[in-house]
Amino acid sequence: MNILDKIVADKRQEVALRKSLIPIKQLEQSVLFTRETKSLAAALQASTSGIIAEHKRRSPSKSVINHNLNVFDVAKGYQDAGVCGMSVLTDGKYFGGSLDDLLTARASCDLPLLRKEFIIDTYQIIEAKAYGADVILLIAAILTREEIKTFSEFAKSLNIDVLLEVHNEEELQKSLMPSLDMLGVNNRNLKTFDVSLEISRDLSTLIPNDFVKVSESGISTVEAIKSLQPFGYKGFLIGENFMKTDNAGASATKFINTLNQ
């Protein structure tokens, strides 16, 4: 069993428990459930930098990244830096995140928020909306084509943007459908955790232009972004680079200023 299989097995148990504790009706009565969502895809298309900055305390590959930064300051700092959107890890067991992090981020910034999660059930999409997310992540490696279709169409019915993540050509081919807004290429192999920007370059020509192209993982320099822009990438998810510092917002500001020079 690789780490991804393990995470998904744990996630099925976690979601079953959450469903038994908090009914869908209760989630739908949340104040945030009726708020108008903001499109991350539109923000990326209009941007010159395309940065999606992440709040992430730890990960299975790096263990602790930063437990000292609070979500409120990070979200505010990212907004001041001029990022296009913010990604919030809500998985507790492997990444140290929670849905409360999403709530806090929503209360402290006006950015499009991505719920970064291992989604295996429509219940989690309702949760995302109830806790203030504008975008969900779907991971092709853990979903069938039918599940991708069901989840993405359901998200669209709630006015939530969909970022679909792929790692190889096979995942990409099974996933292409009109209910997706963005196609993310993860440069990290989720089974081995090796990182290579070549994955983004290789898959770029196979992604139709109807989708906003996003490159994820292993992006830590301005040069990396500049090397991917000619391949049509408009979005760049930066997870650990800003979170490794004492001030994620200031780090993002410096990065974007350098990028836009």
pLDDT tens for residues 43-78?
Answer: 999 998 999 999 988 777 666 666 667 899 999 999
For residues 139 and 118, is the Cβ–Cβ distance under 8 A?
yes
pLDDT interval class at 121 (50, 70, 90)? very high
148-177 pLDDT per residue, tens: 999 999 999 999 999 999 999 999 999 999
Exposure string (b/e) for 148-159, b if CB count within 10 Å is 16 or more? bbebbebbeebe
Confirm whether 240 is a catalytic residue: no
For residues 117 and 129, is the Cβ–Cβ distance under 8 A?
no
Confirm whether 179 is a catalytic residue: no
| Catalytic member of 11, 116, 213, 234 | 116
Dihedral sign, CA of 9, 14, 20, 25?
negative
| Catalytic member of 11, 56, 213, 234 | 56
**Whether the predicted pLDDT of 240 surpasses 90:** no
pLDDT interval class at 192 (50, 70, 90)? confident
For residues 87 and 237, is the Cβ–Cβ distance under 8 A?
yes
Rg for the chain (alpha carbons), in Å?
Answer: 17
Confirm whether 93 is a catalytic residue: no
Q: pTM for the whole thing? A: 0.95
Return the pLDDT at 57.
83
DSSP secondary structure of 19-47: HHHS-HHHHHTSGGGGSPP--HHHHHHT-
| Catalytic member of 39, 49, 54, 66 | 54
| Catalytic member of 175, 217, 241, 251 | 217
Pairing of strands 135-139, 113-116: parallel
